[in-house]
Structure 1
Amino acid sequence: MVRVGDAYVRILPEILQCCSDLEVFVLILDEDAYGWNWCAPHSVPQCLSSCLQVIEYKVFQGESGETEMLEYFLSNALVLKKMTITYLTDFKQ
């Protein structure tokens, strides 16, 4: 599980690159993180293309950066079986 603020979203590709055998990725973005932009890495992390099967994204707020990041994951996670997105309002309950 990775919990990050908006300053750390930019290093997510590097974190994923270091986790070459990652099968389940749970990402919780801090509630006060908003207005950030997703910058897709030049190369796809190995875990995305070969072994990542489950992505859970919690505290979704509908920001454009979030949408771009999730689209990137969906486009590049070649063996993905399940993605769960929890909205901020649902996460608080």
Structure 2
Amino acid sequence: MKYITFPSENLNEIPQEVLDELHLVPRKSIDGTKVIMKVDNYEKLFPSAVSLSLQEDEETPQEPFYPYPVYEGKELEDLLSSSEWTSNDSIL
């Protein structure tokens, strides 16, 4: 599964009703400046922000191009375990 990170202020453009309708509760970074969500959900919220890369061969499937970093696998695990996304505060 692919995830994308993007500035929190972009999410402020989306009405809460839309987020509720899609059952989305976006996760924010510790400092609140970034949001991470599944790429599929990002495409639903920001369809105009996704573009297709140009392919010389028209039969080759086009890969979407995103304006922000996309993560999956080990790279995603490393990101989510970083201090930017995980608090070191212990919960009592």
Give your verdict on TM over 0.5: no
- Is the radius of gyration larger for structure 1 or structure 2? 2
TM-score (norm 2): 0.22
Structure number having the greater strand percentage: 1
TM-score, normalised to structure 1's length?
A: 0.22
